[in-house]
Structure 1
Amino acid sequence: MLDNPTITGIDAHAHVFSQALTLAGGRRYTPGYDATLADYLEHLHANGLSHGVVVQPSFLGTDNRYLLAALQQAPERLRGVVVVDRQVAPETLQAMARQGVVGVRLNLVGQPLPDFAAPGWAVFFQRLVELGWHVELHRELDDLPHLVRQLLPFGVKLVIDHFGRPDARRGVDQPAFGALLALGASGQVWLKVSGIYRLAGSPEQNLEFARAAMPLLAQSFGLERLVWGSDWPHTQHENRISYASVVEQRQALGFSKSVQQALLIDTPSRLFGFEHV
């Protein structure tokens, strides 16, 4: 078990897994390598970060055992976001909460959009609210505003992945991005400024979009609703992206010390419960 260092920075989005694990059927990606906790903690240390949030990858489905084992190895330094069926027993959720889980991911990329009016969703979200957990949404930008508006009445905290997965080539004036910005005032939605390389454009276009988007996001959501994540180990982009390169992308955005303090320490400490350690 690893000790509890002072928080110098929180990586709000990463994955750990082994290629030897049983993988979910119908997956969009099959890893050909291991992304171990030891490797991840080494990346954190090398980049001046102390804590992290590990997120269940889609190709492992609802088998969260590897993630939970990672949390047990570094309980003071890690929090987890799992993937579960909405029929999951409340006792299972409570046990996960004791292990450091703070949210559930809905990875809807490549999936039919769910009908949140269907039976079971309201009870499921109520259980998450009672636990203080969030729902992490991963979907391309065009569908996100509609999804968020459906979920807000449930009262659950919402966390949007990877800038909302916009197409950077369409710029910050694309209607769906404006609709997402408008939802920032709800006080119920957070956004991860992560995965710049996933924004569909060239590296230059993606970085240009992120530069233009950041002041708009800060104005609409407030720095108290924005967090940064590495998205390590950069699945499907491993050959051209590294931990060091995503840190360089973050630095290229030119954040002031106060913005870095908010993105890397203050906001993620509150959102993921690190302030209690």
Structure 2
Amino acid sequence: MQAEGQDSAPRQARFAVPPLTCDAHCHVFGPAARFPYAPSRRYTPEDKPKEVLAALHRRLGLGRAVIVQASCHGTDNRAMVDALRSDPTRYRGVAMIDDTTPDAELEAMQAAGVRGIRFNFIKALGGAPDMAVFHRAVERVRPLGWHIVLHVQGEGVAEMAPVIRALRMPVVIDHMGRVDPSLGVDGPAFRTLLDLLADERIWVKLSGAERMTLSPFTEALPFARALLRAAPHRVLWGTDFPHPNLTTPVDELELLNLVPDFAPKAEDRQRLLVDNPATLYGF
């Protein structure tokens, strides 16, 4: 990860990155002087504004991105929306909302390119939201044609499975469900995730390898391969830049270079990196 996000000497991916490849999970943080962090945040990141993200994507040769609201900004989506408006052809967004989010703000976010809302169920990041608030938010965005993004971890996949199955709209599971790699692909949480993918409404991101294991991330590969086999038309890929809450530096090019290891066929990479996000996000 480049500390200042500036363009540096070119480093090439080890495969032909398709044109219009989409980073379907990345964040912008601040700048705090313009977009303050939420008072209730569980972590305070370094500023990583839209210019830093754009520089990363230029280095990697990525043509599109989905900018996901992170918990450090709470339901104040201004930094994310500002980034979307800076390049509306290339960017889409995922917001965080609650009962205080005005209808007019939802309409403005729709116009800016927001296409989903995200809920965090990770205990270390604050735990599950009030489920009444969750369901009200779901019903508010359903008429907009948005989808639901869920950040769950390990056994949380099974805990949320009944809720996921009951939702009458597309659902995206972040970071391969953040399952414990030591349990293998036959672990109960991962088997539940594979079972969920039998539902055509459910998608999953083949991201977060750096949250499962350390470089060179080989422990994550069997999980990504299994998910791609289970739902080749409903998998997405993303960098998770700038990797909030991780203390170990991450090289996003190394993450990009994992793609041929779990998607060796060019047609699978085209779907994963270009076609699938275009379908879900309307590029």
The TM-score bracket by the shorter chain reads 0.7 to 0.9
Q: Which runs of 5+ in 1 are unaligned?
A: 1-5
Contact kept? 1:163, 1:195, Cα under 8 Å = yes
Contact kept? 1:152, 1:188, Cα under 8 Å = no
Q: Distance in 2 between matches of 1:37 and 1:77?
A: 13
Q: Which residue of 1 aligns with 2:128?
A: 113
Output the aligned Cα RMSD.
Answer: 2.1
Equivalent AA in structure 2 for residue 10 of structure 1: C
Give, in angstroms, the shift of residue 41 of structure 1.
1.7
Contact kept? 2:207, 2:239, Cα under 8 Å = yes
Equivalent AA in structure 2 for residue 234 of structure 1: H
- SS where residue 54 of structure 1 aligns? strand
Q: Which runs of 5+ in 2 are unaligned?
A: 1-17
% of aligned pairs identical? 34
**1:27 corresponds to 2:36:** no
Q: Which residue of 1 aligns with 2:257?
A: 248
Q: Which residue of 2 aligns with 1:194?
A: 207
Against the structure 1 CA distance between its residues 47 and 16, is the aligned structure 2 distance closer, same or farther, given a 3 Å change threshold? Answer: same
Give, in angstroms, the shift of residue 189 of structure 1.
0.9
Give, in angstroms, the shift of residue 157 of structure 1.
1.2
Q: Which residue of 2 aligns with 1:207?
A: 218
Q: Distance in 2 between matches of 1:174 and 1:124?
A: 32
- SS where residue 135 of structure 1 aligns? strand
Equivalent AA in structure 1 for residue 227 of structure 2: L
Give, in angstroms, the shift of residue 155 of structure 1.
0.5
Give, in angstroms, the shift of residue 219 of structure 1.
3.3
Against the structure 1 CA distance between its residues 249 and 237, is the aligned structure 2 distance closer, same or farther, given a 3 Å change threshold? Answer: farther
Q: How does 1:1-277 map to 2 (within 5 A)?
A: 8-20=20-32, 21-31=35-45, 33-110=46-123, 111-114=126-129, 116=131, 118=132, 121-199=134-212, 201-203=213-215, 206-208=217-219, 210-220=220-230, 222-237=231-246, 239-253=248-262, 255-274=264-283
Against the structure 1 CA distance between its residues 202 and 9, is the aligned structure 2 distance closer, same or farther, given a 3 Å change threshold? Answer: closer
TM-score calculated relative to the size of structure 1: 0.87
Give, in angstroms, the shift of residue 153 of structure 1.
2.1
Contact kept? 1:28, 1:59, Cα under 8 Å = yes
Contact kept? 1:122, 1:154, Cα under 8 Å = no
Runs of 4+ in structure 1 off by over 6 angstroms are none
Contact kept? 1:126, 1:156, Cα under 8 Å = no
TM-score calculated relative to the size of structure 2: 0.85
- SS where residue 24 of structure 1 aligns? coil
- SS where residue 185 of structure 1 aligns? coil
Q: Distance in 2 between matches of 1:165 and 1:176?
A: 9
Contact kept? 1:7, 1:51, Cα under 8 Å = no
After TM superposition, the structure 1 stretch with the greater mean CA deviation from structure 2, 150-159 or 186-195, is: 150-159
